[in-house]
Amino acid sequence: MPLYTTDALILRTYQFGEADCIVAFLTRDHGKKRGVANGARRPKSRFGGGLEPLTLARLSYFERERRDLVRLSYAEPVRSPLLASDGDVLGYVEYFAELFDECAPEGDPNASLFRLGAAVVETLTGNVSIDRLARYVEYWVLRLQGVYPSLLVCHACGGDAARGGRLDPAGDGFACVDCAHEKGLMLSAESVQFLRAAAGTAPAAASGLSLSVGAGRELERAHRQLISVHLEKELRSFQVLRAMNPETS
Ligand SMILES: [Zn+2]
């Protein structure tokens, strides 16, 4: 049984039997894995706080031949999002974890997705504008999934799409205001500007990007629709976020 030791982003933990957990986690080199953490639900478990969602942890696991589930032997938190003191920020922790979990295919390494996740955990514990960070994270996750098309030019006329336009959630590209048909998600010039800036900004600087309340809501609605179309389901966390922020739904 080969033993791997790696940095991992904990995505989801669920109960398994009396005292055990199954943990989904994202690694840089081996993609998303799922494994059993024996005894993790006991009060004095050796896993401690290392298995909370969106914790960046140092962990080791055994890969078992012809088994989908690995066996976790050790987990130590490196960075926990629970260090964030802001209640709104904590409300987004489960959402980000679910978004990464649903978008990461099992066993298919994507170093960019891992780096994004790790940087988001770091960012959450600092001074953060959670709305801007959330739109930034959604943009990048969707982009790494190939869902977000280029927002530089219109796919129909090839012209600069800086004045905004419509995005086809079914993946037919981005059309400028002159070429856009009725269908599709409207993105204003301000939203396009935010997304273009997000494309060249590190997660730690996402809070400093300019985004008005109106454009933020437009992007929030557009991203929820893009995520739901891409995953062919609605994320559980959308309900929680709606309850936190009734005016945006
Ligand atoms: Zn056009």
Whole-angstrom distance, CA of residue 199 vs CA of residue 192: 11
CA 79 to chain centre: 17
**Residue 208 has which token pair?**
């400093």
* pTM of the model as a whole: 0.93
Measured from the Cβ of residue 42, the count of other Cβ atoms closer than 10 Å reads 12
* Ligand 1 centroid, distance to 166 Cα (angstroms): 10
From the CA of 170, how far away is ligand 1's center (Å)? 18
Query: Separation of 155 CA from ligand 1 center, angstroms?
Result: 7
What CA–CA distance (Å, rounded) separates 90 from 109?
27
Per-residue pLDDT, 175: 92
Decide if 95 contacts 224 (C-beta within 8 A). no
Q: Ligand 1 centre and the CA of 188: distance in Å?
A: 14
Question: How many Cα neighbours within 13 Å face the side chain of 114?
Answer: 22
The label of the residue with tokens 């009060």 reads 43
* pLDDT at residue 125 in the model: 85
HEC per residue, 187-229? EEHHHHHHHHHHHCCCHHHHHHCCCCHHHHHHHHHHHHHHHHH
Q: How far is the CA of 139 from the centre of ligand 1 (A)?
A: 22
Rounded distance between C-alpha atoms, residue 36 and residue 28, angstroms:
19
Distance 158 CA to ligand 1 centre (A): 6
By C-alpha distance, which of 43, 59, 42 is closest to 51? 59
Cα 169 to ligand 1 centre (Å): 17
Strand order in the sheet with 164-167: 174-176, 164-167, 185-188
* Domains along the chain with CATH numbers: 3-81 (2.40.50.140), 129-248 (no CATH)
CA of 76 to the centre of ligand 1 (A): 51
pLDDT score for 247: 66
The contacts found for 219-222 with CB under 8 angstroms, 24 or more apart, are 219/135, 219/138, 219/139, 219/187, 219/191, 219/194, 219/195, 220/131, 220/134, 220/135, 220/248, 221/185, 221/248, 222/167, 222/185, 222/186, 222/187, 222/191
The alpha carbon of 153 and the centre of ligand 1 are apart by a number of angstroms equal to 8
User: Among residues 55, 31, 58, 57, which one has the least CA distance to residue 114?
Assistant: 31
User: Is the separation of the CB atoms in 241 and 88 below 8 Å?
Assistant: no
What are the beta bridge partners of residue 35? Answer: 23, 70
Report the DSSP pairing between strands 164-167 and 56-62.
unpaired
Taking only the tens of pLDDT, the chain with its 249 residues reads 789 999 999 999 999 999 999 999 999 999 999 999 999 988 888 888 889 999 999 999 999 877 889 999 999 999 998 877 777 888 899 999 999 999 998 878 999 999 999 999 999 988 889 999 999 999 999 999 988 888 888 999 999 989 999 998 877 789 999 998 778 889 999 999 999 999 999 999 999 999 999 999 999 999 999 999 999 999 999 988 888 877 655
* Residues, Cβ < 5 Å to ion ligand 1: 154, 156-157, 176, 179
CA angle 87, 91, 130 (to 5 degrees): 80
